[in-house]
A = this chain, B = another copy of it.
């Protein structure tokens, strides 16, 4: 049985950042400098081609940690960040680049590749969550949420579908193929953000994924604009959503 090893620690503006590895998977845990004891934990999933300390992750961590007093954790997805790429990763990425260069449909490749990454990442997240809950400042009885974008949605939907410890989840846009069946197993509150004029994921596909969630409480946020133009206030909104469901008020308006 592996246990979580901290490898580096730094601190700035009320937030402690601790790098860790768990069974060879590199991750980072952000916590409040004070008052972190038994605070809620939010697991975060980065987008495809990004990594655990991408600005989208650090930005959300800051809102969660200093705005809500929560812990926030990310692990590098397989083949991402500080993790080596396999031959399979290289091959899928090459196919994706080729499709993008040719203006061909990238959806089928992303869907297939992300499904494979999610399959690998779900058990990694589960043992990481076990280990994080063994830390005295987190504990095993506190609320756990999830927020993810892109690939982080593919991994998150797969994870939340099978992981009863996660009680609220905020997802970003993704194709419904593969994921819709898993979304039908999710009953916890969900906030789902998509882009109304997404040139990569058809509007109907985005709406279909939202529709698939079995959650009695679910909210769709659709913003005018293309795939990469999601407004920054959606990050604030996802954090507000998690704060509402994990039980602490947002300390300052976003």
- A residues near B (Cβ < 8 Å) are 196, 207, 210-211, 215-224, 231, 233, 240, 244, 249-253
Give CA–CA (A217, B231) in the complex, Å: 9
From residue A214, how far is it (CB to closest CB) to chain B in Å?
A: 10
Q: Which residue of B lies closest to A220 (CB)?
A: B222
Q: Which residue of B lies closest to A223 (CB)?
A: B219
- 21 A/B residue pairs, CB under 8 Å, sorted by A: A196-B210, A196-B211, A196-B218, A196-B220, A207-B207, A216-B224, A217-B224, A217-B231, A218-B223, A218-B224, A219-B221, A219-B222, A220-B220, A220-B222, A220-B223, A221-B221, A233-B244, A240-B253, A249-B253, A252-B253, A253-B253
The complex is assembled from copies of this chain, and their number is 2
Q: Which residue of B lies closest to A217 (CB)?
A: B224
Q: Which residue of B lies closest to A67 (CB)?
A: B253
Give CA–CA (A252, B251) in the complex, Å: 9
User: Do A221 and B220 touch across chains, with their CB atoms under 8 A apart?
Assistant: yes
Q: Which residue of B lies closest to A236 (CB)?
A: B240
Residues of chain B within 8 A of A215, CB atoms compared: 224
Residues of chain B within 8 A of A253, CB atoms compared: 240, 249-253
From residue A239, how far is it (CB to closest CB) to chain B in Å?
A: 11
Residues of chain B within 8 A of A252, CB atoms compared: 253
Give CA–CA (A222, B253) in the complex, Å: 22
Residues of chain B within 8 A of A217, CB atoms compared: 224, 231
From residue A121, how far is it (CB to closest CB) to chain B in Å?
A: 27
Q: Which of A217, A223, A224, A240: most chain B CB closer than 10 A? A: A224
Residues of chain B within 8 A of A196, CB atoms compared: 210-211, 218, 220
A219-B221, A219-B222, A253-B253 known; 10 new pairs, CB 8 Å cut-off, are A196-B218, A196-B220, A217-B224, A217-B231, A218-B223, A219-B224, A220-B222, A220-B223, A240-B253, A252-B253
From residue A225, how far is it (CB to closest CB) to chain B in Å?
A: 8
From residue A104, how far is it (CB to closest CB) to chain B in Å?
A: 27
Residues of chain B within 8 A of A249, CB atoms compared: 253
From residue A170, how far is it (CB to closest CB) to chain B in Å?
A: 14
